[in-house]
Each structure stands twice: as C-alpha cells, then as structure tokens.
C-alpha cells in the first residue's frame, strides 16, 4: 500500500540584500535540475530535530527555520535573518518522490559567499528584472517576484 502521508519536505530561502536577490547555479552533477539557477535550500531530515532537546514535552519548535539556516550556510556560506513565509508548492518528481516545498524569504545577515561546490557552481546577486534573464528552475522567478512584492507591503499570492 502506498503511503499517502509521507513527503520529502524542502525549505528554500529567497535571500535579499537591498534590492538584490541571491541566486545560485546547481552543479551539473545534481540529480534534479542540474545546471539550473535557483535559491538556496534543502531537505528536512529527522536528525535536524531528533538530535535536539524538545522545546516542550512533545514538540520541537522552529524546525524549518533551523534547517533553512543550516542549508543556506552549507550551500552558500552566509547567515540569514528575518525569515518569512512566501508560498508553498508540491510535486511528485520523476523518481516517484512526493515533495512539499516551503518557499521563504530572508534578509542577508552577513558572511562571504562560499559555495558548496558539490551542490552549487556559481552565484549572482540580481534584481528582479535581472533574475528573468537566468535559466531558473520553473517557478523560482515567480517566487522572487512574490517576495519582492511582499517586501514592499503588497499582498502576493501565486498566480
């Protein structure tokens, strides 16, 4: 029987500094979307919380935020702050994995870009208009536009 509840969960960060957004090119060796431009992020693993002390008798809190901070540090070597929700999306990849992606935005808080070369090969700080000229994974440009609108106080929803 197929498990209808289990999903891989990924969280991403549209990192901004002034009017620019950080994008990075995925390594050609990546299984999914090799050579495409994207924003940093990664998958939630149970060790991301089970290795920590619970915040209450039952729960760990801020799990996704902690994963996002770790993934951003690992992939591009910078610190982020002021993480906010932008949108969510889901898919079933060609390998059969159902995936839920939580797209967030976060302010650049410091650090020099240092790419994990196993995952990312290039980076760029771009404006919204400049981002349109990159070969981004489908939907990423629209998410950057949504984040930009949200930063300006506009209500933004997919579509």
Residue 2, in any domain of the structure: no
In a domain, 113, yes or no: yes
What pTM value is reported for the model?
0.92
Burial 37-70 (b: 16+ CB within 10 A, else e): bbbbbbebeeebbeeeeeeeeeeeeebbebbbbe
Angle (CA) 10-18-14 rounded to 5° is: 10
- Measured between alpha carbons, how far is 108 from 105 in angstroms, rounded to an integer? 10
**For residue 22, what are the domain limits?**
10-151
Does 3 fall in a domain? no
What does the pLDDT average to over 6-31?
93
75-130: pLDDT as tens digits = 999 999 999 999 999 998 888 888 999 999 999 999 999 999 999 999 999 999 99
CATH of the domain at 93: 3.90.79.10
Note whether residue 159 is domain-resident: no
Closest CA to 40 of 80, 8, 84: 80
**Residue at 110 is within a domain:** yes
In a domain, 5, yes or no: no
Asked if residue 146 is part of any domain, the answer here is yes
Q: pLDDT (tens digit, 9 = 90+) per residue, 50-87?
A: 998 999 999 999 999 999 999 999 999 999 999 999 99
The number of distinct structural domains making up the chain is: 1
């Amino acid at each position: 029987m197929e498990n209808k509840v289990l999903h891989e969960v990924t969280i991403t960060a549209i990192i901004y500094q002034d009017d620019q957004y950080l994008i990075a090119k995925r390594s050609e060796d990546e299984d999914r979307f090799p050579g495409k431009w994207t924003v940093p992020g990664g998958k939630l693993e149970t060790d991301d919380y089970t290795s920590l002390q619970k915040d209450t008798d039952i729960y760990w809190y801020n799990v996704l935020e902690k994963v996002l901070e770790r993934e951003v540090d690992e992939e591009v070597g910078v610190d982020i702050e002021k993480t906010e929700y932008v949108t969510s999306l889901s898919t079933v990849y060609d390998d059969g994995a159902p995936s839920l992606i939580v797209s967030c935005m976060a302010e650049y808080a410091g650090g020099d870009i240092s790419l994990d070369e196993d995952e990312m090969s290039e980076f760029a700080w771009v404006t919204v208009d400049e981002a349109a000229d990159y070969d981004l994974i489908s939907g990423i440009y629209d998410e950057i536009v949504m984040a930009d609108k949200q930063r300006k106080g506009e209500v933004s929803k997919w579509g």
